[in-house]
Amino acid sequence: QVQLVESGGGLVQAGGSLRPSCAHSGMLFSINTMGWYRQAPGKQREMVATITNGWRTNYVDSVKGRFTISRDNAKNTVYLQMNSLKPEDTAVYYCNVVQSSDSYWGRGTQVTVQE
């Protein structure tokens, strides 16, 4: 059974940093892409950052230069280093893993950035 478990969210002041992580288990085949998405109240879920098995990264414009996605295949974990956080970054952050044609989601971790 595939499981994704996020951790590392929290409450931080504007300008601060957080580093959520997502550990996955139960994958039987190679993972194509891992990523982080977020959903703020009243808004649609949006892609924040993705990283392929070839280490190609992609970011939404609003986080470029502030967020960095990375993965540790030995630990089956993907990270999102978030620096210079802004109140508009407040959302539930979800981990996503794509394996073959299947997509898996974690339950999410809350990130709240105060003024």
CA 66 to each of CA 13, 49, 51, 77, 100: distance values in angstroms, whole numbers, following the listed order: 15, 11, 16, 20, 30
C-alpha of 82 from chain center? 10
Cα 46-23-58 angle, rounded to 5 deg: 35
Residue 9: per-residue pLDDT:
95
Each residue of 34-83: pLDDT tens digit? Answer: 999 999 999 999 999 999 988 999 999 999 999 999 999 889 999 999 99
Q: Give the pLDDT confidence score for residue 22 in this predicted structure.
A: 96
| pLDDT score of 32 more than 90 | no
Q: Residue 30: pLDDT above 80?
A: no
pLDDT above 80 (res 89): yes
Q: Return the number of other C-beta atoms located less than 10 Å from residue 57's C-beta.
A: 14
Per-residue pLDDT at 101 exceeds 90: no
In the prediction, which pLDDT does 26 show?
84
pLDDT of 45 reads 97
